[in-house]
Structure 1
Amino acid sequence: MASPASISCLLALFLLLRPHAALAVLHRHRFPSLLLASFNASEPPTTFFEVDRPIRPPRGSVGPCSALLLSHSFGYTYGRPPVTVAYEPPACLAAAPGSLALAVLEWSADCRGRQFDRIFGVWLSGVELLRSCTAEPRATGIIWSVSRDVSRYVALLAVPGEIAVYLGNLIDSTYTGVYHANLTLHLYFHPAPPPQQPQHADLIVPISRSLPLNEGQWFVIQNSSDVRSKKLVIPPNTYRAVLEVFVSFHSNDEDWYMHPPNEYIEANNMSSLPGNGAFRAITVKVDGDVVGAIWPFTVIYTGGVNPLLWRPITGIGSFNLPTYDIDITPFLGKLLDGKKHDFRFGVTNALDVWFIDANLHLWLDHKSVKTSGSLVSYDAPALALKVDSEFRALDGQFVTSASWHVSATGWVKSSYGNVTTTFYQRFSYENINVYTKNGTVQVVNQTIDAKSGALSRSGIVLLSEEVHRVFPLYIFSGTSDQVGDEYSLVSVVKIGFYERRTSDRKLKFSYSSLRNVQSAHGDMRVKKNLVVDGLGETHQMYKYADTDGCYSRYVGSRNYTIIFYHSGDVCSKGPPHVGPKLSAMKHT
């Protein structure tokens, strides 16, 4: 999302006064959509897309039964109330909620003109269903869509509520793009409820800001000491609880992984620039106890680094930002007393601004009025964070490393028996940030490794789940040929999202693995903070496999044009590898 205009003005002034420090600030700039040349108004709009696998209904299911939830044009909406409409469950869902096979929320939109990328969110009765970034338009127009599997919210979809959408857009004589959007719900059903239907939560409680307000329903975190919270009463017959957390970072912290430590900024008299180093982590507390954390994937929005890299292939996660689950079942023994309990979020080293909220998924024991439980063991040591720095004037190297873990075990007694649950998280992090050539070249090598798991047993294993995610990132950014307010910028981005999931539910085993890698490079000429010329090329490899099959896509683009595209459902080695291997992504 674009930084405030006042920040952009400060940065432009700083560049003019200290051109030798160009790189130290250039990655803070936001570049709007480009109008590089004359255009033919009769040209069809360009389709933008995030590479992902299709969401397919289960075999034998029927549908879709579709309902248009909202249709709206987002013009000058910044700082104004979200658009709201009443929600009524589609008749097909009201008639057979127990037979739901799949629910898909689809956002489709078009735009024409010039505009920054804008973050937006979709909520149903305060529960966030989708967080996404808009594509940046062009004069001939663009279209795009994003779909998210929302089956886990079936308990919420089955009751009346209110849809809220916030997309903070600005319109003036320069930035003319209006986003015209439709929001649609597609439902698929089993002809008859299968004997082993996935057990979704019975109740979903929002941990977000309540309407009315003049912004999104997310909490706004502006610095490292800023903590946001909400107090909730947990139903007394709850036997399982999982927090689903939405996270996004913007403005001064949009590129936090490229930030030098404050000592570098102070030594070079750059007090107007963002700092606090290159490590960020979201900490989640319940009644003061740390129950988990999120070390977030480094989403690059459609205007980030070099916007020409993301046309029409957008950055991983930019259209469908990932969410993060924290199982708090071990703590239920402390939460089932009928009193309000404090759910709290903070961000280590945060700068303005982070948007965070959460959905609390609760499973209820319908055969009993009250469950009971107790926390058996708990371990959450202090974060181990280390920064080694060595620099002289504008050149230097900063190596940041971190590790942390949490584990908790507790039991809950319900009509299902006495079930003991263990939840754990383990994290490691390394970021190598190097400035050379008098601060005009910056290279970032970063890897985030996050593993979490939950095990529930009552004599036999009832549930065993493990998720392992690895996020490698490499960025090269170099400036040259600066004359006054005009300069050239060369960028290279290599980014990966690797995930492996295993699940055993009552002896029914499943797994999935994802390898999603982008390699992009480009250059652009910038004048008065507007791109006047440039090139961007992106290659992406997406390979997904699960218990039921495989899917792969191999696609490349160059300046709005697809140069190759392959997709298939065959489990094979596929086309050549794109970019560095995971183990070689660092120190490239």
Structure 2
Amino acid sequence: MASPAAAASSHLHLLLIALLFLPFAAAAAPHRHRVPSRHLASLNASAPPTTFFEVDRPIRPPLGSVGPCSALLLSHSFGETYGRPPVTAAYAPPECLAAARARGASLALAVLEWTADCRGRQFDRIFGVWLSGAEILRSCTAEPRATGIVWSVSRDVTRYAALLAEPGEVAVYLGNLVDKTYTGVYHVNLTLHLYFRPAPPPLTQHADLIVPISRSLPLNDGQWFAVQNATDVQSKSLSIPSNTYRAVLEVFVSFHSSDEFWYTNPPNEYIEANNLSSVPGNGAFREVIVKVDDHVVGAVWPFTVIYTGGVNPLLWRPITGIGSFNLPTYDIDITPFLGKLLDGKEHDFGFAVTNALDVWYIDANLHLWLDHKSKKTVGSLIGYDAPALALNLDSGFSGLDGKFVTGASRHVSATGSVKSSYGEVTTTFYQRFSYVNSNVYTNNGTVQVVNQTIDAKSGVFVKDTSAVLLSEEVHKVFPLYVYTGTSDQVGDEYSLISLVKLGINEKSVLGGKLGFSYRSLRNAQSARGTMKVKKNLVVSGLGKTHQVYKYVGTDGCYFRDVSSKNYTIISDNSGDSCSKGSPSSGVKFSSNKNQPARKRLLKL
């Protein structure tokens, strides 16, 4: 057992870390790193603003498309906005959208662009953008500096074509506080860019109707649901049109406050034994469970997004953490369950989080494809398998030192058929997850090392009585390594040392009567830095980050290798050429024979 003095020192360290990284959503007066005025005053206020960015593949218009036609949706300065209603603006489809349809053209690409600037001192803030109640962007702000920052986020929103074609309302919630200490005001423009094909596509590939599964205005918060603990279930009841033949849930997820760093949380017995009541617990495993009525239709094992103020804020300047500016969404195909949903009644769509602490923000969009040649489709659930979560913990500790290894796995699969004017089509959707997390405390609890891997596989198989129309499989691996430790501790002053490695490795293959497509992404970050802390204030520090992004697919390639140190880019190489032998340089697509099957696939 550690001595009482050592235990008190380690307890203070863990408490300071908790205070340093406590997210804004937890309290009206947030406590994280606080840069003292004397440090900010030493900066050259006349220097140009710094451009922050998240490394991602550029969104390029399809060949042969025309545009952009651009429309400013909203312009606002977010100052004292915490706990107040979202900022809203009426949405009218841009005139060019109707004009394109009138001349026989169709939407090829829609891009939502968020541009912002800020100057002063401020925390990172989570924010969301909704169109007619459906979320279309979840993001995190950059943390400003005295000389100012600028950044932009672009998201492909083509899949929301049905929403973009109808009048509605844009809502943006960005909860911010401004006072004498935290002076940063976020000045924002939200713009929609549209590109068009000269001629309509053979058949519509995007949903005919998008139903939001979110909270309705008026609210003094975002339209997301807030899941606050492990027993909290947030849900919404709705019915779907009787002529639906395909349904896909798109889920938005972000984690904050006591669960912002859920993957570093120790078990409750460790917290209780060491009297660490201010340290978040419930262990290091989380999953989002998605239910329709009493059926678990799928799960989300989320990518570990680290926001721009996370672990050590100096790591993410100007290269932000993977997914921090454009948080990923997660698709769950619920077409097999249409046999349950096509009864004309309302059904509950619910969300829960295993082992959750306060707070998780979750909502979803239900994408529906409608059979315009029929008033009613008929479905049936053929097979369903969703065993309980398998979760195990190997725990051992003495005082504040210990090792905790958590493992988990889950499987969900469902098969169902739908009869429509396109014939009888059978759809199978599956998910398979595995997870391992090693959480080690050493040096009397002042050093923590987390090593975690999430492995997620999913697939959709669609067939009719004569052919396989679609076969799509996706494999994602999320590796994570986090080291935090203190050194040079004298009284209330110490140095915090951080090392973070995180990444996304993803492969997907799609085949069927339409042809073949393939994509592979390897996106890896490595960041390290130090912060000098005195009386819970960050008085100095440095950070450096290296990221390698490599995308290869049948739709092209993109590569970027970029490094930064203390707000400055020190190397940056990128390109979009494909190496010899990559899929996009030699793939031959199938011919357009067998048109009936091809049309069914396009509609599906």
**Alignment TM class, shorter chain as reference:** over 0.9
In the TM superposition, what are the counterparts of 1:330-349 in structure 2 within 5 Å? 330-349=336-355
Deviation at 1:335, TM superposition (A): 0.4
Deviation at 1:22, TM superposition (A): 4.6
| SS of alignment partner, residue 342 of structure 2 | coil
For 1:344 and 1:222, locate their aligned partners in 2 and report how far apart those are by CA, in whole Å.
Answer: 14
Contact 2:285 2:355 in 1 (8 A): yes
For 2:322 and 2:368, locate their aligned partners in 1 and report how far apart those are by CA, in whole Å.
Answer: 30
Structure 1 380/23 Cα, relative in aligned 2: closer, same or farther at 3 Å?
Answer: farther
1:201 has 2:207 as partner: yes
Deviation at 1:273, TM superposition (A): 2.0
Could you tell me which of 462, 466, 471 is aligned with 2:478? Answer: 471
1:530 has 2:537 as partner: yes
Deviations 1:393-439 (A, max 9, x none): 00010000000101000000000000000000000000000000000
Aligned to 1:230: 236
Deviation at 1:501, TM superposition (A): 1.6
Could you tell me which of 211, 219, 222 is aligned with 1:213? Answer: 219
Could you tell me which of 395, 399, 405 is aligned with 2:405? Answer: 399
For 2:495 and 2:533, locate their aligned partners in 1 and report how far apart those are by CA, in whole Å.
Answer: 6
Could you tell me which of 20, 29, 41 is aligned with 2:10? Answer: 20
RMSD: 1.6
Letter in 1 for 2:538: V
1:366 has 2:356 as partner: no
Contact 2:16 2:536 in 1 (8 A): no
Deviation at 1:95, TM superposition (A): 2.7
1:449 has 2:419 as partner: no
1:352 has 2:358 as partner: yes
Aligned to 2:439: 433
Aligned to 1:173: 180
Deviations 1:531-555 (A, max 9, x none): 1111100000000111022100000
Structure 1 439/16 Cα, relative in aligned 2: closer, same or farther at 3 Å?
Answer: closer
Aligned to 1:585: none
Letter in 2 for 1:181: V
Could you tell me which of 81, 87, 96 is aligned with 2:85? Answer: 81
Structure 1 25/462 Cα, relative in aligned 2: closer, same or farther at 3 Å?
Answer: farther
In the TM superposition, what are the counterparts of 1:491-570 in structure 2 within 5 Å? 491-570=498-577
Could you tell me which of 36, 56, 60 is aligned with 2:60? Answer: 56
Instruction: Give the TM-score, by structure 2 length.
Output: 0.91
For 2:535 and 2:204, locate their aligned partners in 1 and report how far apart those are by CA, in whole Å.
Answer: 55
| SS of alignment partner, residue 18 of structure 1 | helix
Structure 1 134/568 Cα, relative in aligned 2: closer, same or farther at 3 Å?
Answer: same
Contact 2:48 2:147 in 1 (8 A): yes
For 1:200 and 1:503, locate their aligned partners in 2 and report how far apart those are by CA, in whole Å.
Answer: 17
Q: Percent identity?
A: 77
Letter in 2 for 1:287: D
Mean Cα deviation higher: 564-573 or 283-292: 564-573
1:279 has 2:285 as partner: yes
For 1:202 and 1:71, locate their aligned partners in 2 and report how far apart those are by CA, in whole Å.
Answer: 29
Aligned to 1:40: 44
Contact 1:448 1:470 in 2 (8 A): yes
Aligned to 1:582: none
Deviation at 1:17, TM superposition (A): 9.3
1:107 has 2:114 as partner: yes
Say how many residue pairs are matched: 559
For 1:26 and 1:469, locate their aligned partners in 2 and report how far apart those are by CA, in whole Å.
Answer: 35
Deviations 1:178-204 (A, max 9, x none): 000000000000111243x66000000
Aligned to 1:146: 153
Contact 1:368 1:415 in 2 (8 A): yes
| SS of alignment partner, residue 161 of structure 2 | helix
| SS of alignment partner, residue 375 of structure 2 | coil
1:260 has 2:266 as partner: yes
| SS of alignment partner, residue 108 of structure 1 | strand
Mean Cα deviation higher: 465-474 or 524-533: 524-533
For 1:309 and 1:279, locate their aligned partners in 2 and report how far apart those are by CA, in whole Å.
Answer: 25
Letter in 2 for 1:79: G
For 2:168 and 2:481, locate their aligned partners in 1 and report how far apart those are by CA, in whole Å.
Answer: 43
Mean Cα deviation higher: 35-44 or 185-194: 35-44
Aligned to 1:72: 76
Letter in 2 for 1:328: I
| SS of alignment partner, residue 150 of structure 2 | strand
Structure 1 198/565 Cα, relative in aligned 2: closer, same or farther at 3 Å?
Answer: farther
Structure 1 319/16 Cα, relative in aligned 2: closer, same or farther at 3 Å?
Answer: farther
Q: Which runs of 5+ in 2 are unaligned?
A: 22-31, 581-604
For 1:103 and 1:500, locate their aligned partners in 2 and report how far apart those are by CA, in whole Å.
Answer: 25
Letter in 2 for 1:63: G
| SS of alignment partner, residue 331 of structure 2 | strand
Contact 1:282 1:348 in 2 (8 A): yes
Could you tell me which of 379, 383, 389 is aligned with 2:385? Answer: 379
Mean Cα deviation higher: 161-170 or 34-43: 34-43
Deviations 1:462-504 (A, max 9, x none): 2222111100000110012333432210000000111112222
Aligned to 1:328: 334
Contact 1:33 1:136 in 2 (8 A): no
Aligned to 1:191: 198
Contact 2:34 2:536 in 1 (8 A): no
Contact 1:494 1:519 in 2 (8 A): yes
| SS of alignment partner, residue 269 of structure 2 | helix
Q: Which runs of 5+ in 1 are unaligned?
A: 1-14, 574-588
For 2:474 and 2:486, locate their aligned partners in 1 and report how far apart those are by CA, in whole Å.
Answer: 39
For 1:374 and 1:225, locate their aligned partners in 2 and report how far apart those are by CA, in whole Å.
Answer: 31
| SS of alignment partner, residue 11 of structure 2 | helix
| SS of alignment partner, residue 96 of structure 1 | helix
For 2:6 and 2:292, locate their aligned partners in 1 and report how far apart those are by CA, in whole Å.
Answer: 48
For 2:448 and 2:381, locate their aligned partners in 1 and report how far apart those are by CA, in whole Å.
Answer: 47
Could you tell me which of 113, 132, 141 is aligned with 1:125? Answer: 132
Mean Cα deviation higher: 24-33 or 219-228: 24-33
Contact 1:502 1:512 in 2 (8 A): yes
Structure 1 244/50 Cα, relative in aligned 2: closer, same or farther at 3 Å?
Answer: same
For 1:194 and 1:534, locate their aligned partners in 2 and report how far apart those are by CA, in whole Å.
Answer: 54
Deviation at 1:94, TM superposition (A): 2.1
Aligned to 1:91: 95
Contact 2:6 2:444 in 1 (8 A): no
Contact 1:389 1:398 in 2 (8 A): yes
Deviations 1:139-190 (A, max 9, x none): 0000000000000000000000000000000111100000000000000001
Aligned to 2:594: none
Could you tell me which of 287, 292, 297 is aligned with 1:291? Answer: 297
Instruction: Give the TM-score, by structure 1 length.
Output: 0.93
| SS of alignment partner, residue 265 of structure 1 | helix
For 1:390 and 1:378, locate their aligned partners in 2 and report how far apart those are by CA, in whole Å.
Answer: 38
1:413 has 2:419 as partner: yes
Aligned to 2:598: none
Contact 2:116 2:187 in 1 (8 A): yes
1:481 has 2:488 as partner: yes
Deviation at 1:21, TM superposition (A): 2.9
For 2:555 and 2:176, locate their aligned partners in 1 and report how far apart those are by CA, in whole Å.
Answer: 41
Structure 1 257/422 Cα, relative in aligned 2: closer, same or farther at 3 Å?
Answer: same
For 1:90 and 1:123, locate their aligned partners in 2 and report how far apart those are by CA, in whole Å.
Answer: 17
For 2:504 and 2:15, locate their aligned partners in 1 and report how far apart those are by CA, in whole Å.
Answer: 27
For 1:131 and 1:100, locate their aligned partners in 2 and report how far apart those are by CA, in whole Å.
Answer: 23
